[in-house]
Each structure stands twice: as structure tokens, then as C-alpha cells.
Structure 1
Amino acid sequence: MKTIASVLSIFRPVRFLVVAFTCALILFSNAFPAFAIDSYQSKPTEGTTQLLDIQRKTDEAAKEPPAGLEKVQKESNKGLNEVQGDADIDQQKNPGNSQTANSVEENVKNLLDKVTGKK
């Protein structure tokens, strides 16, 4: 029991540093929650046009009786789906724009090669 007490008394200054570091980490993580400076900064009015168009279509659909199969297929063939149409289709990931992307296995292999010094 004396050995445990002596070991704990040795770590008293270190314990203070750990508590101080933890408090500083909590303070800074709350003060600066996201460093999104380099990411895309959208404009407040950018999505308004698309949303208004979707809202208009929703209002029209609510006033009409349920759509038939032909109408649903016609609307769905215009883009990603019936509601979204082709909105943001250029930002979606698909096999055509993902040919140069690395798989998870490749990323792990590259990381392990770097860690072990093979690369």
C-alpha cells in the first residue's frame, strides 16, 4: 500500500499538467469548433433557387391526385430521382468521376508502407 501511495505522490505534478492540458483542450475545442477556412464558402442565396423550385413542385404534387406510373418514370428519367431532378448532379460521386480515387485497401497499404519505411 505504501508503494502505491509513493508512486501516486510522484505523479502529483504530472497530474496537474494533465488536468491543465485537458482544460485547455476543452477550451480551444469549444472556442474554435471547426477550421473550415479552406473549404467551400457558400453564399446565403445560393440554394434558394433550387429550393423554391422543389417547393413549387411539391405544392403542385400536393394539389393533384397521385401520379401515374408514366408520369413518375418521365420525371425520374430527368435526373437522379423524381424530386431532386438533376440538382447537384455534378457534385455526386459516380464511377465516371471516381476513377482516380484510391480504395481503402490502397490507402491502408500506402500508410503501412510509409510507417514501415518501404516507400
Structure 2
Amino acid sequence: MKIFTVVLSMLRPVRFLIIAFTCALLLLSSTVPAFAITSYQSDNTEATDQLLETQKATDEVGRSAPPGLKEVQRKSNEGLNEVQGAADIDKQKRPENSQESSSVEGEIQNLLEKVTGKK
């Protein structure tokens, strides 16, 4: 317990700096999310056509009998999945458009080679 008292007595001169740093940290951590407001903001009408088409397809499926396996497979093969279809397919990451990226296994292997000095 004596060590704790000694440490506190040594920190007494820098107590103001510690309090100021803590307050600054709290202030910055609460204001940084506000900077996200200035990032890209989409137009109100942007992408509503795709959503309306998806909603229309959902309503049709809800009114009809459950689709059979062949129909589900046919719709799934048209795009990413049955519901989404090919909407935003160019924005999503998949093996066809991610050839230059490395896999987790490859990155771990490279790290292990660097650590062991084999590379």
C-alpha cells in the first residue's frame, strides 16, 4: 500500500496534464463520428428503382405458392442470389474481381516465413 501512496505523490505535479489529456481524449472521441456527416451522401431517389423491383418480386412470391427447387436454382443463377439478383454486383467483392488480393492463409504464411527467416 505504501508503493501506491508513493506513486500518487509522484503524480501530483503532473495531475493537471493527465486531466487535460483525458478531457481532450474524451472530446476528440465524441467529435470524430460527427465528421462522417461530411462524407458522401446519396440522393434521396438514388437506388430506389432496384429496391422497388426487389419489393415487387418479394410481394409476388408472398402471394403465390412456394417456388420449386428448379425455379429457385434458375433465379439464383441469374445473379448473386435469388432475392438480390444482379443488383450492385459490380460493387461487391467476389473471386472474379479480387484476383490481386491475397488470402488470409497466404498472409499468415508470409508472416510465418518472415518470423522464421525463411524468406
TM class, shorter-length: 0.7 to 0.9
- TM-score relative to the length of structure 1: 0.72
CA RMSD, 1 decimal: 2.9
Q: Percent identity?
A: 59
- TM-score relative to the length of structure 2: 0.72
Within 5 Å, give how 1:68-87 maps onto structure 2. 68-87=68-87
* 1:24-54 per-position Cα deviation (integer Å, ceiling 9, x unaligned): 1111221221644896543332221111111
Give the Cα–Cα distance (whole angstroms) in 2 for the partners of residues 21 and 76 of structure 1.
Answer: 55
Q: CA deviation at 1:5?
A: 2.8
Which of the pair is proportionally richer in helix?
2
Q: CA deviation at 1:74?
A: 1.6
Amino acid at match of 2:95: P
Corresponding position of 2:42? 42
Amino acid at match of 1:44: N
Q: CA deviation at 1:87?
A: 0.8
Relative distance call for 1:13 and 1:56 in structure 2 (3 A) is farther
Corresponding position of 2:96? 96
Within 5 Å, give how 1:7-86 maps onto structure 2. 7-33=7-33, 35-36=35-36, 40-86=40-86
Q: CA deviation at 1:18?
A: 2.0
Give the Cα–Cα distance (whole angstroms) in 2 for the partners of residues 85 and 71 of structure 1.
Answer: 13
Segments ≥4 residues shifted beyond 4 Å: 1-4, 34-41
Give the Cα–Cα distance (whole angstroms) in 2 for the partners of residues 78 and 94 of structure 1.
Answer: 15
Give the Cα–Cα distance (whole angstroms) in 2 for the partners of residues 70 and 58 of structure 1.
Answer: 18
Structure 2 SS opposite 1:90: coil
Consecutive unaligned residues of structure 1, counting only runs of 5 or more, are 114-119
Number of equivalences: 110
